[in-house]
Chain A
Amino acid sequence: MSREARVVGIAETPFVRNSPHSAVQLMCQAIEAALADAHLAATAVEGLAICTMTVPDDAPFLAEAMGFELGWIDKCDQGGAAAVTSLIRAMHAIEAGYVDVVVCVGGGNRDPRLDHDSVLTIGDYSRRNYVAPLGYGGPNSMFGLIQRRHMHEYGTTLEQLGTIAVTQRRHARANPNALLREEMGLADYIGSRLIADPIRLLDCVMPCSGSAAVVLAAADRVAPDLPHVPVRVAAAAENVNHQVRDPLPDRLSTGVRALAPRLFRDVARDDLDFVQLYDDYPIAVLMQLEDLGFAEKGKGGAFVEQTDLAFDGTVPLNTGGGQLSCGQPRSTGGFVGVVEAIRQLQGRAEGRQVPDARAGLVTGIGHLAHSTNLACTAGLVLERSDPWR
């Protein structure tokens, strides 16, 4: 069993609106902090998975700038799904016996001059030729189309969607690294200004600056003095280009549908102690709840209305506030849920700790396609590794 991988360290830099540090500097800070959390030295690192979409420098050059000689490297370019896919790839590299210690990292700066991803223009030709020239609003308007259709087809209401945002904000108030911590009610959500109707300001993640890193190690390389319980991967699944062969794909169905049976093979959905669902918009969370089977398609609105989504409720959702309240440091966004999931399993989520959290789900979604919704979806079921290791 020594080739099983364990998650042993996590770190987030402070999430701030503006940082004088470049994305790469922020990534270095998160890596140092995550290694300290793992009780491992930087010289132990053999693999690096960097989550970024459009690097002007390739991953090896970034690793060189950071001072790593490695036995394995990967660039994860699945957008919002990249944090989850980086952990999956790191786990596979360790379990294959290829390397013993891997760091997964993402980082971004809201200021394009200090960011790494923003240097290049849109690479994807379908958005470049068939979406952007119309003057679209980025993900805001793509989700505007999706949410309008969901409201029309299934009668989903702003009150139902707002419940997600408001619950998460309550969680954020107990998370010192969340950027948005002032009280927020349903009326604030509904009354916020329109950005891409029916998407409102409080539907949208706030871009910010920061980085996060996660350290994985082979089970026999876990530091003997590690002060918190290691975490193992119980199930992992990815989907790319859901419904690609359908000329009229269902805009309201996501690749998460394909993940569900693979994710819940060992740990059943009902046995999850929490869910950290990628939340660039409340409507994205609602569709994932449907596609994971928490509710039938179209009944996600009724589900959030009737379910206590608080950290001490029946289906604890985005217990650190999610990206909607923490902020989205570009490609690091997917790490918000990953890091929070690990914190919960290690009993380190002070003020919002899910009682006796033993297993939880984290998802990532990324890239918006011309006529469907998400190109990439990925999920991980994580659980405490008891007994120790």
Chain B
Amino acid sequence: MAVTRPRPRPVPWDEGFWERARAGTLAVQRCGECGAAQHYPRPVCVRCRSDLLRWETAGGAGTLHSFTVVRVPLNKAFADEAPILLADVELAEGVRVLARVLGREPADDDIGASVEVTMVPVEPDGVPLPHARLVDGART
């Protein structure tokens, strides 16, 4: 049985995220009324319920909140890539983003360390997804 990798399937309110992703930028939603940031994208601001949401380009700076090493991916189509490192990143914009890890594998005491998040194309269709890299030497 052929297994295919799950791909993002945009919904009306997150099309803007994927348009910007394809252009290589990571976007977060910012509320035009209360100023709150949120990720993942929602149809309304979950804090004040306004639908005046705009896309803000994230700078990419963040800290490592947690990480895991996926040795058994849920979807077997990822088996050839295992182990897959996933990081829970707190962006400077004040939201948390799940990302793959590039470069050095984090250790337990890297939690709280600075990371840089970029959008990197992922097979099979090349849609860029968030990837985090430890910025060595810096710690917040």
Q: Which residues of A contact B (CB under 8 A)?
A: 121-122, 125-126, 128-138, 140-141, 144-146, 148-149, 151-152, 193-199, 244-245, 247-249, 251, 370-371
Give the interface SS of chain A, mostly helix, strand, loop or mixed: mixed
A134 and B37 CA atoms in complex are apart in Å by 22
Give the interface SS of chain B, mostly helix, strand, loop or mixed: mixed
Q: Which of A136, A137, A199, A247 contacts B37 (CB 8 A)?
A: A247
Contacts of A197 in B (CB 8 A): 68-69, 71
A159 and B75 CA atoms in complex are apart in Å by 31
* Residue B11, interface by CB 8 Å: yes
A244 and B94 CA atoms in complex are apart in Å by 14
A133-B95 contact, Cβ under 8 Å, with A140-B72, A196-B68, A245-B47: no
Encoded as 1 (CB less than 8 Å from any A CB) or 0, chain B from 85 to 129 comes to 010101000111111100000001001000000000010000101
A134-B74 contact, Cβ under 8 Å, with A128-B8, A197-B69, A251-B88: no
Verify B40–A134 contact, CB threshold 8 A.
Answer: no
Verify A134–B36 contact, CB threshold 8 A.
Answer: no
A152 and B68 CA atoms in complex are apart in Å by 13
A133-B111 contact, Cβ under 8 Å, with A138-B74, A141-B70, A197-B69: no
Q: Which 8 pairs across A and B sit closest by C-beta, in order of nearness?
A: A144-B68, A135-B78, A138-B74, A137-B70, A132-B6, A149-B66, A197-B69, A129-B8
CB distance from B126 to the nearest CB of A (A): 12
- Starting from the known contacts A125-B11, A135-B84, A152-B111, 14 additional A-B residue pairs (CB-CB under 8 Å) come to A128-B8, A128-B9, A129-B10, A132-B75, A133-B7, A134-B129, A137-B84, A144-B70, A145-B66, A148-B108, A195-B71, A196-B68, A371-B95, A371-B98
Verify B86–A247 contact, CB threshold 8 A.
Answer: no
Ordered by A's residue number, 23 sampled pairs between the chains whose C-beta atoms are within 8 Å are: A128-B6, A128-B8, A129-B9, A133-B5, A133-B7, A133-B8, A134-B86, A135-B73, A136-B70, A137-B70, A137-B73, A140-B74, A141-B70, A148-B111, A151-B108, A152-B66, A152-B108, A194-B71, A195-B71, A196-B68, A247-B36, A247-B94, A247-B95
